Amino acid sequence: MSSTSNWEAVIGLEIHAQLLTESKMFSADSAAFGGADNEYTSPVSLGMPGALPTINRRGIEYAIRMGLALNCNIRTRSIFSRKNYFYPDLPKGYQISQFDEPICEKGYVDIYLDGQPKRIGVTRAHLEEDAGKSTHHGDYSLINLNRAGVPLLEIVSEPDIRTAQEAAEYARTVRNILRYLGVCDGNLEEGSMRCDCNVSVRKVGESKFGTKVELKNINSFRFVEKAIDYEIARQISSIESGERIMQETRLYDSTKNRTYSMRSKEEAHDYRYFPDPDLLPLEFEQAWVEQIRKTLPELPLEKAKRFQAQYGLPEYDALVLTQERAVAEYFEKVANLSGNAKASSNWIMVELMRELKESEKSIEEQKISAERLAELIQLIDKGTISGKIAKTVFAEMWAQGGQPGEIVKTKGLVQVTDKSSIEKWVDDVIHANPNQVNEYRAGKDKLFGFFVGQIMKVSKGQANPDLVNQLLKEKLKK
Amino acid sequence: MSENILELDLASIVERVKRRELTAEIVATKFKGQIEKHNAHVNAFITVNDNAVERAREMDRKISNGENAGRLAGAPVAIKDMLCTKGLRTTAGSKMLHNFVPTYSATVVERLEAEGAIVMGKANQDEFAMGSSTETSYFGACRNPWNFSYVPGGSSGGSAAAVAARMSVAAIGTDTGGSIRQPANFCHLVGVKPTYGRVSRYGIVAFASSLDQAGPMTRTVRDAALVLEVISGRDERDTTSATKAVPAWGQNLSSNLRGMKVGMPKEYFDRGISDDVRAVVMRSADILKSQGAELVELSLPLTKFAVPIYYLVATCEASSNLARYDGVRYGYRADFSTQAAADLEEFYSRNRGEGFGSEVKRRIVLGTYALSSGYYDAYYKKACQVRRLLRQDFIEAFKKCDVILSPASPTTAFKIGERIDNPLEMYLNDIYTTSANLAGIPGMSVPGGFSREKLPIGVQLLAAHFEEQKMLNAAFAIEENLKLTAEVPHELH
C-alpha cells in the first residue's frame, strides 16, 4: 500500500443509543431485554390493522437529557415522520423516525486524545423506533418483534473526525455521557449502542468531500478503530489504482479485519419520508427543558476538570477515573475518607482496575468497598503496614472481602518497627553474604538494593523499610 | 304487537327495550330475519354476527336485573368492515384480509357495545374504503335497496344498504372523502362525518389517517345524534382524538333556526348538478328560511382544488398505511407450496399483487409516486400547502355563516357497472364532500327528497370545527318539514 501521507480521511458517526425506558416508544409493551419470542408485543407493535402509536413521555425526556448533555438546541416543536421501506421485521412497513425538525440539533462533544482537546460537532439527535429481529433457518425465517418499537436516539456527528482514533474516542465519550445520564447502558457488544461510521478520503488541502462509504456491524470501540483504518487504506489504494469509490454500505468482519460490500447490486433507497399523520407534532414547554437541565449530573469532562483542581490529579488520571460515573464516585469516596487522593487514584487505577479487567467485573460487583480501600491506604500512611504488605492485604480483600485491619492482625502482617528486631535481621544478612559486603564496601553501591531485598525476605516483608535503610547504611559503613 | 319493529327508529327501540315493552332478543331476531331474507341479494353484510341474538338475551337479563343497559340498549347496528371487532372477522372488503379475525375491537365498537348496542354484522364496502360505489369489494358489489340495479354509493355502501333495508337500525361508516355522506345520500339516510378528532380512529383500518373519521348512518337525525354521542370523545389510544367535551346533541336538537345564517357557496352550484338535485337543495334552502334562518351568498374559491388535493393526500397516506399488509404476520399469503419465492421481493409482490384489487393498487402506485424523492415537493408538499389554505377558506366562511348547505353529490345513485371502468368520473363524484375531510370540519347528509325515478336525493350540511349541533339542527328542521322518514324502499315491498 502506498504512502497515506498526502491523503486525509473524513469521518462522521451515526450512533444509535437504545434508551432505557420501561415501555416502547410508541406503545405500552415492555422494552425489557429477552422475554419469550414475541412476548413483548401488542396490536401496536405488531402493526395490526387500525392500531395507532402513542408517544412515550419518558423517551422524550431521555432524548432531551442527552440533547442537553450534547450541547444541542432542543426543539420544543418537532415532527415524527415515517420512513417507508419493506422488511419482514418492520411490522408497519415504515419506521417512525424524525426527518425534518428533529428534537435535538446543532450540538457538540469535546474529546481528548493524548491530552489534546478536539470539538466534534453533533448535527442532530433524533428519536425513532427499533425494528424486530429476523433469524434465518435454511428455507424459512423467523421473526421476533420484542425489540420492535424500542426507543432509539440516533446521534449524528458532523464530518469533523479525521482519524480512526478520534472516531473511537468520540464514540467512547458519547457512550460515557449516555451512561452518566442513565439513559442508555451503552453496550456495543450487546447492541444497546450501535455505531455506524461514514468514511471518505480526499487529498490533503481538498475542500470537497470524497464519496462516502457507510460501515456497519461494528460491535466494539476497538473495532471502530480497526474498521475505519482498514476502510481508509482500502479507499486510498482503490483510488490510487484508478478505481472509483462507490457510495455503499459495507459490513465489518472483525475475524478477518476487513470490510465487505453488503449489497450485491446497487440499490437506490427512497424512503419517502413524510410527517406521520397518526402523531401530532410533538410540542412541549421550554420550562420542561429547563427543569430537565437542572437534573443533569456533572458530566465526565467537567468532573475530570474538577478532579484536577480539587484533588491535584494529573490530567490523565482525572480522565481515566471519570470515564465511568460509578468509578468516579468510588474514587471521590476513597479520596475523601483516606485523605490521600493521589494514593487513592493509584490504587484504583493500578490494582483495582487490573482486577476488574481480568475478572470482567464492574466496580459495583466487587467486594472492596470504598471505606475499606480508604482504610487500607490509611494503614500504609500511618506506617502500620508497608506498601508491599498492602498489596498482599489488597489481594486478600479482593478474593475474600473483609476489613484490612482485621486481615493485617490475623495474618500477622503488622510492620515491624522495633529497632532490635530489625538490627538482628540486618546483622544476619551481612554475615551471610560476606563477598557482597566486601564488593559494596569496595564501591559497588548498586548492591544496597540486594541487601534490602534479602532483609525483606527474611522479615517476610514486615520490616519497616525506613529503619532497614537507616540501619543497613550504618552497618555497611563499618 | 301489531307494529312493525323494523320500522321503529333507534330512539324508540332503546326506549321500549329499557321499559321492557320489547325485548332486545325479539328486536335482534327480527332484524336477523331481515338479514336472512335480503342479504343474499343486497349483499350488505360481508360477515353476519352469529352471536347477535345471544348478546341481545344478555341485554335482556341485564335489564331484568335492574342493571344499566346503556344508551343504545338493544339497538341492532351494522359495523363497516373497516372497524376491528374482537373475534369477528374484519376484512376491509379485501382479499388481503379475507381471513383476519382481530384480537381487539375498535374504540368505536367498544363504546357502542358498552352502551348496549347489538352488532348484527360487518358491512360491505369498497376495498379499503377506496371507491364511491361499493363495487370494488372483494366480496362482491352491494345493491341499493331503493333500486337493486343501482349502487348504494360508497365506500360505506353496505352500511347504508343495511339500514335502508332494515337489517339494522343504525350503522357505522367511515368517511375519508365522503364515504358516509354519499351513500347516505343515495339511500335516503342521515349520515354524519364528525369533526376530525371527534371520534377515535383506534382499531379502524387506516386508509388516509389525516382524513378518516367514523360516524353514524341512521334513518333519523335524532338517531344519528344519539349514536354520535356514544362514539365521540377523547381516546388515549388515538393521539389525534380531541379532548373537547361531547355535547348532548340529541337532547339539544331544535328546528328553530332563528338567527342562523346558512351559506350557499356559488362554486357548489355552478356545473354538473342534475336538475333534480338542484331542485331538492333549493327546497331545503326554502325550509331553512321558513324556520328562521337567513340565507347568505358565499364563495369558496379553492373548491376546484379539493378533488386533486384529496387524491394526492389520500393516496400518499394510503400508500404508507397499506404497507403493513405484506402477508408476513396475518392476512392473505400467496400459495408458495408448489413454487417457493425466489427472494423477498417476489414474496412481497405475490402476496400484495394477489391480495389487493386494482383500485387499491392504483392508489398505492399514485401515492408512492407522489411521495418519492424529486416529486414530493411538487405533489405531496404542495397539496398540504393548498390544503391549509382550503381549511383557512372554511374558517373565514364560517365567520359569515353558521352552516353551509350544498348538494351531497352531483347526481343520484348510478347503475351498477356504469362507472366502474372510469376512475376519473368516479372520483368526481366526491366533488362536494372531500373539502370537509381536508378542512377537518363536520359534514352530514340528510334526506331531501327523490328524483323522478324515485331515487333518493340528500343534501349536505357543513359546519365549523366542533359545531356539529348547528348542522344537526338544520338537518332536523329539514327532516321535520319534509316528513319523509317513514318512506320504505320499494324493492323491499
| Residue range B416-432, pLDDT digits in tens | 999 888 877 777 778 89
Measured distance CA(B250)–CA(B11) in Å, rounded: 10
pLDDT > 50? residue B479: yes
| Residue range A100-135, pLDDT digits in tens | 999 999 999 999 988 789 999 999 999 999 999 999
Looking at the complex, report in whole angstroms how far the Cα of residue A48 sits from the nearest Cα belonging to chain B: 8
Task: Convert B235-259 into a string of H (helix), E (strand) and C (coil).
Answer: CCCCCCCCCCCCCCCCCCCCCCCCC
Judged by average pLDDT, the poorest of A35-44, A424-433, B186-195, B205-214 is A424-433
Q: Is B254 a catalytic residue?
A: no
Chain A residues with beta carbon closer than 8 angstroms to that of B236: 54
Confidence of residue A80 (pLDDT cuts 50, 70, 90): very high
| Residue range A242-268, pLDDT digits in tens | 999 988 889 999 899 999 887 644 456
Measured distance CA(B67)–CA(B62) in Å, rounded: 5
CB contact under 8 A, A91 and B237: no
How many of the other CB atoms lie within 10 Å of CB of B27?
A: 27
Judged by average pLDDT, the poorest of A156-165, B286-295, B340-349 is B340-349
Displacement of CA A9 from its chain's centroid (Å): 24
Residue A279, Ramachandran bin (φ over 0: left; ψ between -120 and 50: alpha; else beta): beta
Q: Is B155 a catalytic residue?
A: yes
Measured distance CA(A74)–CA(A124) in Å, rounded: 10
Q: Give the best residue of A57, A92, A278, A282 to mutate against chain B (max B CB count within 10 A).
A: A278
- Which of A54, A93, A278 minimises the CB distance to B324? A93
Nearest to B170 by CA among B154, B148, B192, B150: B192
Single out the catalytic residue among B137, B156, B159, B179: B179
Measured distance CA(B57)–CA(B24) in Å, rounded: 7
- Predicted local confidence at residue B1, as pLDDT: 44
CB contact under 8 A, B102 and A279: no
Q: Is B80 a catalytic residue?
A: yes
Q: How far apart are the first and last CA of chain A?
A: 67
Q: Judge whether A147 and A295 are in contact, CB under 8 Å.
A: no
Looking at the complex, report in whole angstroms how far the Cα of residue A305 sits from the nearest Cα belonging to chain B: 45
- Predicted local confidence at residue A3, as pLDDT: 54
pLDDT > 90? residue A421: no
CB contact under 8 A, A55 and B239: yes
Architecture of domain B5-254+443-492 in this structure: Alpha-Beta Complex (3.90)
- Which of B82, B104, B320 minimises the CB distance to A43? B104
Single out the catalytic residue among B155, B168, B409, B445: B155
CB contact under 8 A, A50 and B201: yes
Confidence of residue A446 (pLDDT cuts 50, 70, 90): confident
Q: Residue range B279-295: average pLDDT?
A: 97
- Predicted local confidence at residue B24, as pLDDT: 97
Q: Does domain A419-477 have CATH number 3.40.250.10?
A: no
Q: Delimit the CATH 1.10.10.410 region(s) of chain A.
A: 419-477
Chain A residues with beta carbon closer than 8 angstroms to that of B344: 86-88
CB contact under 8 A, B209 and A278: yes
Measured distance CA(B126)–CA(A57) in Å, rounded: 38
Measured distance CA(B283)–CA(B287) in Å, rounded: 6
Single out the catalytic residue among B80, B95, B122, B193: B80
CB contact under 8 A, A49 and B100: yes
- Percent pLDDT > 70 in chain A is 98
Confidence of residue A1 (pLDDT cuts 50, 70, 90): very low
Looking at the complex, report in whole angstroms how far the Cα of residue A185 sits from the nearest Cα belonging to chain B: 30
CB contact under 8 A, B208 and A46: no
pLDDT > 70? residue A174: yes
Q: Give the best residue of A42, A52, A81, A278 to mutate against chain B (max B CB count within 10 A).
A: A52
The residue ranges of every structural domain in chain B are 5-254+443-492
Confidence of residue A388 (pLDDT cuts 50, 70, 90): confident
Looking at the complex, report in whole angstroms how far the Cα of residue A157 sits from the nearest Cα belonging to chain B: 24
Assigned C-alpha cell, A62: 431521555
CA angle B281, B285, B287 (to 5 degrees): 115
Question: What is the average pLDDT value for chain B, to the nearest integer?
Answer: 96
Q: What DSSP string describes A8-21?
A: EEEEEEEEEEE---
CA angle A330, A333, A338 (to 5 degrees): 125
Report helix angle B107-114 to B221-231, nearest 10.
110
